[in-house]
């Protein structure tokens, strides 16, 4: 039976997003642990539930840190039709991915405007300008971040939970970068930390060695 909520055909949308992600990750450009994560996540795709959304967006983080920023940009576009239902925890990984797309587009010299318009949580289902509320200011300043280089993952050589932890932190770094960083966390420092995250993922065999 087709599930329709708020005008959204969730079954059709889920099938669409899953198909686009499977096409994006059809080529083998990740390390063994990364390939296993892709296989596991894409086995059962769901757009409802924070954990499933975190898992799905972690694939785009791995692709970006593997040097495939184009996959991040296309993957962000694949997630654009996913509506904001009022569940911030479920939508937040998508918003952070668009922040990552802003960063990647700017670094590539491409137009970041289509991604920048998705940086804020939508109001009544419509994207709006970035919201500079107190929590966003704290997050953009890095006050709520545990950097990947300071996490337990930095000392690990295996563990899918470490890959997940690094991906979550990188999405937070994306948000900080897209909101122009802060005195404590300027964009250059954020870039260094994202590079450190890539090194951690290589050590976890999620990415191939350089």
Where are the chain's structural domains? 8-203
Burial class (CB in 10 A: 0-12, 13-18, 19+), 52: middle
- Output 4 or 120, whichever has higher pLDDT: 120
Task: Check pLDDT > 60 for residue 124.
Answer: no
Distance CA 205, CA 203 (A): 5
Q: What local confidence, expressed as pLDDT, does residue 48 receive?
A: 87
Backbone angles phi, psi at 133, to 5 degrees: -80, 180
Confidence band, pLDDT 50/70/90 cuts, at residue 39: very high
C-alpha 84/C-alpha 53 separation (Å) is 13
Rounded distance between C-alpha atoms, residue 42 and residue 176, angstroms: 28
Residue 100 has pLDDT above 70, yes or no: yes
Distance CA 169, CA 173 (A): 6
The encoded tokens of residue 3 equal 């599930």
Backbone angles phi, psi at 185, to 5 degrees: -125, 75
Helix (H) or strand (E) holding 4: strand 4-5
- State the pLDDT confidence band at 121, using cuts at 50, 70 and 90: low
Torsion over CA: 162, 56, 48, 75 (sign): positive
Mean pLDDT of 190-199: 97
> How much is the mean pLDDT over the chain?
88
pTM attached to this predicted model: 0.90
Would you state the structure tokens that stand for residue 116, as one six-digit string? Answer: 């920048």
pLDDT grade for 128, boundaries at 50, 70 and 90:
very low
Computed from CA positions of residues 105, 127, 146, 182, in that sequence, does the dihedral angle turn out positive or negative? positive
Res 13: pLDDT: 95
Distance CA 115, CA 95 (A): 9
d(CA 181, CA 103): 11
DSSP readout, 141-203? TTTT---GGGSGGGG-S--HHHHHHHHHHHHHHHHHHHTT--SSS-HHHHHHHHHHHHHHHHH
């Amino acid at each position: 039976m087709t599930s329709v909520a708020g005008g959204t055909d969730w079954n059709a949308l889920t099938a669409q997003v899953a198909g686009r992600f499977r096409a994006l990750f059809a080529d083998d450009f990740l390390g063994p642990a990364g390939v296993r994560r892709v296989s596991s996540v894409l086995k059962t795709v769901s757009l409802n539930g924070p954990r499933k959304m975190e898992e799905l967006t972690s694939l785009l983080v791995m692709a970006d840190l593997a040097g495939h920023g184009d996959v991040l940009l296309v993957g962000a576009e694949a997630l654009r039709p996913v509506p904001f239902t009022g569940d911030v925890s479920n939508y937040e990984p998508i918003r952070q991915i668009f922040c990552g797309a802003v960063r990647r587009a700017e670094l590539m010299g491409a137009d970041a405007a289509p991604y920048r318009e998705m940086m804020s949580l939508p109001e009544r289902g419509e994207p709006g300008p970035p919201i500079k509320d107190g929590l966003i200011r704290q997050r953009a300043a890095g006050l709520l971040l545990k950097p990947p280089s300071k996490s337990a993952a930095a000392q690990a050589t295996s563990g899918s939970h470490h890959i997940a932890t690094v991906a979550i932190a990188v999405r937070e770094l994306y948000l900080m970068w897209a909101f122009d960083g802060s005195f404590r966390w300027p964009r250059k420092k954020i870039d260094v930390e994202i590079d450190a995250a890539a090194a951690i993922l290589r050590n976890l065999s999620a990415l191939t060695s350089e």
